[in-house]
Every structure is written in C-alpha cells, then in structure tokens.
Structure 1
Amino acid sequence: MNTKNYILVCMALLLSLSLFPQQRKQKRADTLFNKFSFVKAAKLYKELVQDNYNRNYATRKLADSYALLRDPRNASRYYKSAVKQKDVPVEYYYKYAQSLRGMKKYDESQIWLQRYKDSGGVVDTDDFSKDLNFITSVFGAKQQYFLDRVRFNSKYSDFGAFEHDGLVYFASSRDEGVAIKRLYGWDEQPFLDIYVTKAGSKRNVNHTAKLKGDINSIYHDGPVTITKDGKTMYFSRNNFKDDIELKDKNGLTNMKIYRATKVDSLWTNVEDLSINSDDYSTQHAALNVDETKLYFTSDRPGTHGGSDIWTADIASDGSLGNIQNLGDVVNTEKAEGFPFINNEGVLFFSSDGHTGLGLLDIYAAIKGEDEESIVDVINLGVPVNSNKDDFAFTMNQNGITGYFASNRQGGRGSDDIYAFHREPALHVEGVVTDAINTFPIVGAKITLFDDTNNQIAFMETDENGYFQINIDRNQDYKIIANQDKYIEDYREFTSKNLQTELTSVRANLLLNPVQDVVKLAEIDLNTIYFNFDSHVIRDDAEVQLNKIVSLMQNDYPEMVIRIESHTDSRGTLSYNDKLSIDRANSTYEYLISKGIDPSRITEHQGFGERKLTNGCEDGTKCEEEEHQLNRRTQFIVVKME
C-alpha cells in the first residue's frame, strides 16, 4: 500500500472509531426495546438524541419507550418533537394525541387526533374516548398480531395449546366417542384431558388423540408445558388420591402441578410437586428461558387477590425452593394466571385486574433496568384481546407464531384455541465494499429513502462495512451509500410481500474509488445501442467498440472496465433480463475477440428494463427514438492504473 493510501485508510479508521459506539448503542437500544426493556432502551435512545446520531429515529423510539413506561409527560415531550419531523409516520399523530390525553390535555389531544384522521389514519373514536390508560391505545396503534385458523377446536372447552417438536398439546373437554361420559358439575361438560395433534394438521381431533401414558386421569388434566429437551412435562391436575378427590376445608377440590418424564415415548413417573397443598390451588406451569425457574398460578397464603403468579427455583436435582410472589406490579386484587415466558425472557399472563378490553385480557410484562425486575405491564390489544375472556397465551420457539384461548363470539365452543402470527421488527442490512479490492468500506454514509424520495434514516458503516436500519413492512425503499473517496452507489428494494418470519432485507452496495474513475467523455467510452429484440452488434456499435479496444491497448494499458447492458420496457421482465444478458455477452465476446485480456473486464451484466434512462415504463406512450435510448450497453471504468 502506498503512503497516500495508507494515510487515507488511517484517517478513515480514526473517523469511524467515533461512530462505532453510536452504531452499537442504537442496535443495543433496539434489542432492548424489542425485549420490553424500555427503561434501558430509553436511556440509550436519549443518549443518541443528545449525540445527534440518527436523531429523528431515536426521538421517535425514545417517545415510544416513555409511552410504554406509562410516562405521558416525557412521552408527550418527545412525541411533540417527533410530529414536527418531515414525513413522520402518521401513527405518531395518534400517539401524541394519546400522550396528551394521558396528561389530561383533552382539547389539544383532540386536535392531534383530528390531524391523524385527516392524514388518513383510522381510529375508533368511541374506544379513544373511553377512560382507559393511554398506553393501551399507544401500544395497539400499529397491529402486531394477526389471527390464523385453528382446525382442531370442538364444541366443548379447548385451551392451553403448547407447541413442542412439531406437536400441539392442549386441554379439552371433548370426551366424545366413549361409552361413559363423566361430567364436571361446574359447567356440565366432560372433565379436561390432554390431547396432542400435529401442528398445522387439518384433521379432526377426537378421543383417540388423547395423550398416551399416565398423564390423563378421571378428573381435570391440563394444560401442560414441556422442557426443551422433550424429556420432562409439567402439567395441572385435580388433587386426588386413589381415584378420590381430596377437598379442602371449604369442600373444594384444588389443582396441583405434577411432573412427568418421557420413557419409551410414553409420559410416566408422575410426581406430586413440593409446592402443592391440599389447602390451595397450584396450576398453570411455565418455565423461564434456561428452565431454572417455574412460574405458576396459585391462591396460596400471601396472594394479593383471587389468584397470583408465583415463581419457584428449580435446583439441578429437580427440587423446588425459594417460592416468591411476583409482586403487585403484575398481581392485583383480582385474578392473574396462565404465565408464559418466551425466548426473549418476556413474561405474558392473563388478568382481569389490569386495565383491559373485557374480562380476562392477556398482558406482557415490562422489564426494569436490570432486565429482571418488572416495572409495568402492557395490554396486547386487539385482536389478541376482546371483550370476553382471553387467556393461555403461548409463543412458539420461532418467536413468530403461537396460540391463545378465548370465549369470544364467533368461536365453535365455550373456549376455543386461536393461533396467531406476529410481524417482528424488520430491518435492511448489508455490507459496503470497494469495487476494486472487495475490501469493506469503513464509515460509509448510508441514507435510506422511501418511495417518494423522503429521507427516512441514516447511519455509517462499521469496521466490517456493515450497516443495519429498521424499516417498515409493505414499503418500497431506496438506499444510497457514499464516502468522500468513492462514487456513490444505490439500491432500490421492497419490503412488500415478505414472509412473516423474515426479519431482514439484504442490500449490499459496491463503491468505485473516485481516483480510479475517469469521466467517460474524456476517454470516449461511448454507449453502444441495439436494435429492438436483438443482441447483434450493429455497425455503428462496432465503430465505438473498436475505439475502446484502441484505448485499452494503446492509451490505457492498465485500464479495467465493467460492462452493463439494458433493454427497453417492452416485453416481459424475465425476457428482458435474458436479452440484456445476451447483449452483455455479445459486447464482452467482441472485445475479447479483438485481443482484450478477459481479466480487464471485471463483469459483464444484464439489468433488463430495471435501469431505464427515461420515463418509458410499461404503459407509457413513447416514440421509438425514446425506446432506443434504453436499448444500450454502457462501459464503466473501474481502474486506470
């Protein structure tokens, strides 16, 4: 490397060193936000705002963090800045209105609500005017969960679906097809048993799908949770011994959590856990991420309301200890139950004691700064919650799909299982590299634009030339990369019609060094043109190609070029892609036939109709002369010496 280049590289590295902490800080803040750790996320977003790094984006996320922490004063402060941003997403008008409402500034709130509606936003005004905590509407302003069909519901009670290793385990009172039915006196339905079916199965599930082994009894059994290795099951069951229900002093039969192990594909070795008692209920088992804690529902002594969520530590030998109540942030004077912890360590549960949409609603817990304590809860909003009972939420290992139960209208039975998929955060990512040596470019500025050329965000590449920016789904974008010593490059991409489980879109960019690029006019590398639907080199094109051969052989013996060929818009996209490749090949083969070393042509690519020089797109009326301008091959100088 010569001295000049060495100095330039060192300067670029020094400049980029100050950017790395900011890039990492934004990525860390986004990760914390997605894990409901809004306290820590807010701290990092605030630092990004103060450092003026990707300020608009950080301001919006800081406002969202405060809103989700039920802090309308600070949320309003930053939403006020956000709504002044050019081309801010319209949903922020709604969020600002809600934060103002949380501060009891009702008149001002209505002004921004009207602006939201005038900008095309849709809102249920009746729901907006209800005296609900403002956070519920803020969280639900952008739908994250979408319902999918479940085919194995019955006319009886079905709930507690838990997916493991391609199978769905659930509790149901559908005890049909048997000679003797035992009915539960509470609701005159058969007792619950645990059933299992293949995930995504369209077949009806009857009594033959009952879980094999020692789990199902003559009383209530279910729901279940299973360890990741598939060897241990925790499940709820009525308290009984020798087929006789054991009752407490009030004459009630309580629930217990039992543990079973899998032996030769059958569940057996059922164990009554030490946390159980004949005097109160213990049920709804759930495990934390590393399976060292058992979460459960109980009305044991110390319970705040009808039932609370508790935890117990699981020792390496399986024994349970250190039983703790989750506290009054989660537990209320009413009933909480059905805990579940996803792969991110987020607790979901049901409650009829927090502000909600109906009876039992499903909530997520907001983590504190230490990511262990819980500082608040969030109502998941519609369509997960309804004006009826919504409970038994579980999420699959992919973090995208899952199940919950509800007795809402439109179901098949008293309680039905609903499947969901959620749209996770999406980002564009890529690497910016040097077109000559393919090395990553440090500190390149990345600017993201929407389909109307409005700037959305920017950032700089890290030490690996890597960048990542959060984007919305169902949008068209353009991304531009530039750096002082390079010619800028851009890519157009879309986030439309992506599979739900995809969380990233790839957009790599290639930059040509400025010092190696000579204006085409100065070296007379003129564009050549083709006849319609042809890749044959025309006579006028031969004249230009011979000039290029002469320049490369006599005037610039070290020059390296790249060939790019194109078509007009007539014809199908796939046909034009092939035609442009044929034109690139014809051009390449002509130059090689005249003695140009193939190593001096780095690429010969076809771009079809994707890079028109004018507005002659499909459906546009253009003269033949205008279409001719698009049927071309261009030459890009990538190296001179």
Structure 2
Amino acid sequence: MTKKILLTSILTVFLLAMTFAQERRVVKGNKKYAEYSFSPAIDIYKKVLDKGYVSSDLLQKLGNSYYFNANYEEAEKIYKQLIETYGSEIGPEYFFRYGQTLKTLGDYTNSDSILARFSEMTSNDLRSKIIKTAKDYKEEIARNSGRYELELFEYNSKYSDFAPAFYKEGLIFSSDRDTGNLARYRHTWNSKDFLDIYKVNADSSSSNRVVKMNMINSRLHESTSVATKDGNTIYFTRNNFIDGKSKKDEEGVIRLKIFRINWKDGEWSGLEELPFNSDSYSVAHPALSPDEKTLYFAADMPDSKGESDIYKVSIKEDGTFGSPINLGTPINTESRETFPYVSSENILYFSSDGHPGLGGLDIFATKIDYDDYSKSVLNVGEPVNSKKDDFSYIINEETKKGYFASNRSEGMGADDIYGFLETRPLNFECLQPITGTVRDKISNEVLVGATVKVINEDNEEVLSAITDNKGDYILSCDCNQGNFVRAQTQGYMPAEEYLPISDGKPIIIDFYLEREIIEAGFGDDLAKLLQLSTIYFDFGKYNIRRDAEIEIQKVIAAMEKYPSLKIKANSHTDSRGADSFNLWLSQKRAEATVAYMISQGISAERLIGEGYGETRLVNECDDGIKCSSEKHQLNRRSEFIILE
C-alpha cells in the first residue's frame, strides 16, 4: 500500500511538473504572439499541442499565427479543430477566418456554409451584411474575370518580392532577397529576412539589373513605397526605426511607419517621419492621388473598423499634412483593407479579405471621382485574383500595363511580382448624381410636389423623385447608358432632357414647365393667376422700372404661349397729389405698360390700357390719412385683367 501511495505521489508530481512546463511554454508562446512574433509562437504552440495539451485559447492563437503567415493549409486544420471542439464558446471572428481559409483552399461549399454561420452570429458587422446581400458574388467575380494577360516578372527571386511602384522609367519594389551580408537580420513574424527597397530599369545606372537603394534602407523593414511623378520624392514604409534606433510600443512591438525622403544634390536626404505616425499603431503602404495632393495609406488607428483600414490625408502646398480621414464604408470592413493604389482614372485599388473574394487577400476597385468614396466595390476577378493572397496592384492607365504581387504556388518564391495587360476595363456601376429645381416657366415660381423621373432608352422608368417645398429634387442615373430625365406635374406640359453616356460627373438640370391651359374667366387678374410680383412705379413717374420689366416679360411669355389671350392693363396711383393729376399719371402708366409690351412683339389689338388714378386703393391710405412710403407704394401699381 505504501509503495502504491508513493508511486501515485511521484506520478502526480511528475504530471504537475509536466503541466507547469507546458504552461510556461504557453506563456512564452503568448508573449511571442503578443509581439507579432508568429513564427516562434507557432513552434511553441505546436509543441504544446503535440504533447496533448489543448485549449480554446491555444487553438485560437495557433490558428491565427498560421493565418497571418498565409499558411492556410495548417490554419484550416487548427480552425477546424477549434470550431468542432469549442464552437459554442468562441466568437464569430474565428468562423470568418475559418471560412476565408476554406475559400483559399478552394473549398467554396464549406466556406459558404461557415460564412453563413458567421453572418448569423453577427448583426452590425459589415461583412455579415455583405455576405447576406452578395450571395451571387462568384457570378460577379466571373463577370469581371478574363480581363488580364499575365506574365511573371523577370526579376523575381526565390525570396519574397512584392509592392511594385512606378519610378522614373522603371520600378521600385520590396524584397527580402539575399543581400550578400554575412550578418542577416530575420523578422520573427515569419522567420524571414527583413525587407529592403530595390530598383530596376529606373535609370542608366540600374538598366536591366536590380539595384538595392542603400541610402533608403535600414537594418529593419523597408517595404511598400510610392514616388512622385518627377521621381524626386519617395514615401515608403519602414519599421519604427530612425537615427539607427528602433522603438517598441508598450507590448514590445516595433510598429510600421511611413517616411518621406527627397532627392537633392545627387543624393537622398531630408528623411522625415510623417506627423500622423504613432508608436502605438501602424501606418503603412503609401499611395498618391493623380494630382499628388492626397496621400492614401493603410493603418490600424483607434478609429479603424477592422484589423487595418484605408485612410487619406491632404498634402498641403508647403509639404505639411492635414488630418487623416478614414474612408469608411463600403470600402473598409472589420477585416483587412490594405495596399491602396489610385490610378490616373481615379480608381482606388486595394486588397481585402473582408469583401467577397476567391480566398486570402483579393484585389478590389472602386471609383472615387469627386471625393466620393461611397460607390460600389468590385472584385477585379481572375486571373489577377486567385485562391491565395493577391495584393499591391498598380496600373498605367495609358498603356493598360501594370503589376501586382501574389503568393500563388506557380511563382518562384514566397511572394512574386506579376506583370499584366488589362484587355478590357472593369465594368463599374456608374451613377451620375442629378439635382435641380422645377419651376413655372412664366412666373418662375417653384413647383412643389412635381415628379421627376429617370427613363432609360428602352422607355422603362428607372426611378423617380418628388420635389420638396423648395421645388428641388435629387436623383441619379446609370451613366454607362443614355437616359431621359422627365419632369411633370398636374396642369403642366411635361419637359425632359436627354443625358448621354458620361463620366458620372454631377449635373444640375432645372426644369421650367409650361401650363397646359390658363383656367381663367373674364375679369381675372392674369398676374395673380401666374403668381407674378406686383408691378410698381416710382412716386410721380410712369417709366417702367427694372423690377417691373422682369414681371411684364412673364406676362408677355404667357401671351406668346396663348395667342388668343387679350388683356387690359389697369394702372393706379396713390392718394397723394390732385385727383386730376393722378388720373392723368395713371393713364400714362397704363400707356407705358402697353407700349412696352408692343415693343416686345405683342400685337396692339390684344392690349388695352386704362388709368384709374386713386380710385382703387388697396389700403387705408386715402386723402388725409398719414401713411408710410411703403404703404403708398402698394397703390402705385398695374394689373393685367383678362378680356378674352
């Protein structure tokens, strides 16, 4: 019995020691994981797992370590074990990553099933909404596929080569290829050498050969970059490393930052860190707008929706910067949006694993004309996109030639650069904003409640809007085809304009509708029917004022529209002055009104003028009553009475 107890005690101590040893390994692995040192974290977690020690947390971290290292075959095994064992305990993010991993391995059926479970677990997640509304995403990708001819970049190596950027007559790109140094630095994310920037075919000194840009590179990472058109300024991504020293955040992570350097007096100088960098988050992958006044980049700033978002920041004339702005939805999701590039046609290309794709990171595009980032995001399709990670896309819109990087299996190294020729453009949904006001053609009064429709060339109504209390409307139409815009309302003749195929630039169309008929009888005041402003005269004068001329022109327009219309111009004065003078003055005002209309082409046979002096005042300002100038003004007027 004593021997059994002793043996049991020894065994218990041994098991406890083993447990403590595995726990120490897990703690060490967690530390590496927290530092984004995924490669050593994988080694540690795998040893613990192989010993039979398993937990939800361990599987999550091991699966993520494989996932972020693009080792999708191993990630699939771990995520599968995680979900089968702890499915009811884990958050939706692991279902999303498992679904993405299955998609990368070509298992679209199971991927769609897992992603459907993910969408059921979330409500406010943009990816969930996309999954629910984009059930035919594979058909959309198929429609956009087949538009590229690919070729492998001749300067690839057996190492990682990616992030091509146009530079002078050639390219600059990033690589962790052998630099010839005896002391090689390796990054613990993936246990590979640190990245440097190289150039090829950029100038006579590097023609047809790859040259390392030593004056930019440091002993840590330099990767994605963009150069100004003149080649004198380069923005590039580097680890938080300046003046020969690296700096870690509170978790021990060396973050990524964007730097700017200038070519001056035959050398690169003036290295500066951009002011919106931070020691607590990463800023990377710079891209310039066509006018070079806006810098786009990827970051995981505090207001990021996901693991990384696309941002923009203005570049001022003095070289300083505005405040970074998150591009928001629908571009950014709760996953990774990264590697932006803006073409000369204002198409923003970027990589994402949050939008529906073929697997891993896919390349997407959206039109950003007129500072509008709300348009549809489209997958550029195969063969640029694949089951693997596809990223760092650039294109020359004039030649339709460009480059991107991918870790697909047919390449030479871990990541490879591919050249392409775009044989047909991406078919964007082109929506042209249309705004305007609907008015009465004669009175210029706004027409509230009028209907404005967009009708395509097949005479099908596409959409419509109702004018608000200011007579305004807002619509949009497909600018990839011609459309008619038609305004109509009861009692008026419809009016329409044709919009041909366009670039989608916003347009203003104001409509001026004509009445079908004037429903009036003998003795009605035409000015009131047309909602004209009253025609006034200056004190003691009968010349036509400029403001009165505008209103009389509207009466003339009505008489031109309705040739049978005959009117009588009644003119009046205020009570000041002798009755006989006022009668004469009002007659002169009536005659002046009629004479003006005749001078504008209205037949004299259709016009009569009569003055009434002060006999028809519109207010209390009679003889002996003290009134203001404004009140007297109301009586010095003309009316247009319908005779026939």
TM value normalised by structure 1 = 0.44
The structure with the larger Rg is 2
